[in-house]
Amino acid sequence: MDKEKFEGTMWECASGRGDMSKVLEKNGFQVYSSDIRKTEVYGDGGIDFLHCDRQADNIITNPPFIQAQEFIEHAKKNAKSKVAMFLKLTFLEGVSRYKFFHDKEFPFKKIYVFSRRVKITKNGEKMKNSTVITFAWFVWEKTYVGEPTIDWICPDKESEKNLLFT
């Protein structure tokens, strides 16, 4: 939130237990939270994002990595302004993604790479090997003109404890 500015409504479409949604709400955003899981979900459970056509100004989430590209493509159809996805940095790789990253209708704007490794948790427990993977925020903006840029997120020790994603 300190690096990228958002306006309007937010849809956190893989909300899990609400870690991201709660931060967005604390920052004053109106957030619709949903998840495909039906129990232990923050917001509406049983909502399959890939089969739901709901409009929001911005769609932001930590998608299932195996479905990341499908989540982004679907988000670009439903977001009016921006799409922000928390992904492995390796999402940049692949010949087939070249065209995907050069979409002129909803352009790739920026990548924010974490300078420290993010600790990933599941059900409150740190996942094995979670700090050996580099993560970044990928941002697409509908009205963006120009080449994508790169920036870094360098959290201090105090804010680092807020970088736990489930």
Q: What is the model's pLDDT at position 122?
A: 56
Q: What does each C-alpha distance from 131 to 118, 137, 158 come to in angstroms?
A: 6, 16, 18
The residues spanned by each domain of the chain are: 10-160
- The structural architecture, per CATH, of the domain 10-160 is 3-Layer(aba) Sandwich (3.40)
CA distance 55 to 11: 8
What per-residue confidence (pLDDT) applies to 158? 44
Query: Mean pLDDT in each 10-residue stretch from start to end of the chain (166 residues)?
Result: 91 95 95 96 97 97 95 98 96 89 94 78 54 87 96 68 41
Pairing of strands 135-141, 79-88: antiparallel
Find, among 111, 118, 123, the residue nearest to 133 by Cα. 118
Query: What pLDDT, on a 0 to 100 scale, did the predictor assign at position 130?
Result: 53
